[in-house]
Amino acid sequence: MPYYEEYYIHLNGEQKGPYTLSQLMGLYAKGFIPAETLYWMDGFDQWHPVSDLCGGPLKAWAEKPDKKRVYIFAGIAAAALLLLAYFGPLVRDCWKEVSSQRKFTAEAAYWKARGFVREEMKRKRANLAFERFKAAQIALTSGSDASVALPCTLFPADGGSKRCVWRVALRFDGEQKQWRLLSESQGPAITAR
Give the three-state DSSP class for 168.
strand
Q: Are residues 11 and 26 in the same domain?
A: yes
pLDDT at residue 111, as a whole number: 92
Q: How far, CA to CA in Å, does 38 sit from each of 7, 11, 14, 52? A: 10, 7, 11, 9
List pLDDT tens digits, range 103-113: 899 999 999 99
Say yes or no to pLDDT of 178 above 60. Answer: yes
Owning domain of residue 163: 102-188
pLDDT in tens, 17-56: 899 888 888 888 888 888 889 999 888 899 999 888 887 6
pLDDT at 62: 44
What span, in angstroms and rounded, lies between the C-alpha atoms of 176 and 75?
A: 48
User: Do 76 and 41 have their domain in common?
Assistant: no
SS3 4: coil
Same domain assignment for residues 84 and 112 = no
Distance CA 184, CA 171 (A): 12
Judgement on whether residues 91 and 136 belong to the same structural domain of the protein: no
pLDDT at 82 over 80: yes
pLDDT over 50 (residue 193): no
Q: Measure Cα distances from 146 to 15, 149, 166, 184 in Å.
A: 77, 10, 13, 12
pLDDT of 2 strictly over 50: no
In a domain, residue 164? The reply is yes
Q: Comparing 112 with 95, which gets the higher pLDDT?
A: 112
59: confidence class by pLDDT, cuts 50, 70, 90: low
Same domain assignment for residues 30 and 85: no
Among residues of the chain, what percentage have pLDDT more than 90? 36
User: How many helices and strands in the chain, by DSSP H and E?
Assistant: 4, 9
pTM of the model: 0.55
171 and 118 belong to one structural domain: yes
In a domain, 108, yes or no: yes
40 domain residue, yes or no: yes
Which of 83, 86, 87, 108 has its CA nearest to residue 97?
A: 108
Per-residue confidence (pLDDT) for residue 169, from 0 to 100: 94
Give the closest residue to 113 by CA, choosing from 162, 177, 181: 181
Task: Give the DSSP letter of residue 143.
Answer: T
89 and 109 assigned to the same domain: no
Mean pLDDT score, 65-69: 75
- Residues 128, 115 share a domain: yes
CA-to-CA distance for 115 and 125, rounded, in angstroms? 15
| Same domain assignment for residues 106 and 184 | yes
Pair (75, 148) in one structural domain: no
Asked if residue 89 and residue 155 are part of one domain, the reply reads no
Residues 134 and 174 both lie in one domain: yes
- On whether residue 2 sits in a domain, the answer given is no
Query: The domain that contains 122 carries what CATH number?
Result: 3.10.450
Write down the mean pLDDT value for the chain.
84
59 within a domain of the structure (yes/no): no
For the chain, how many structural domains are there in total?
3
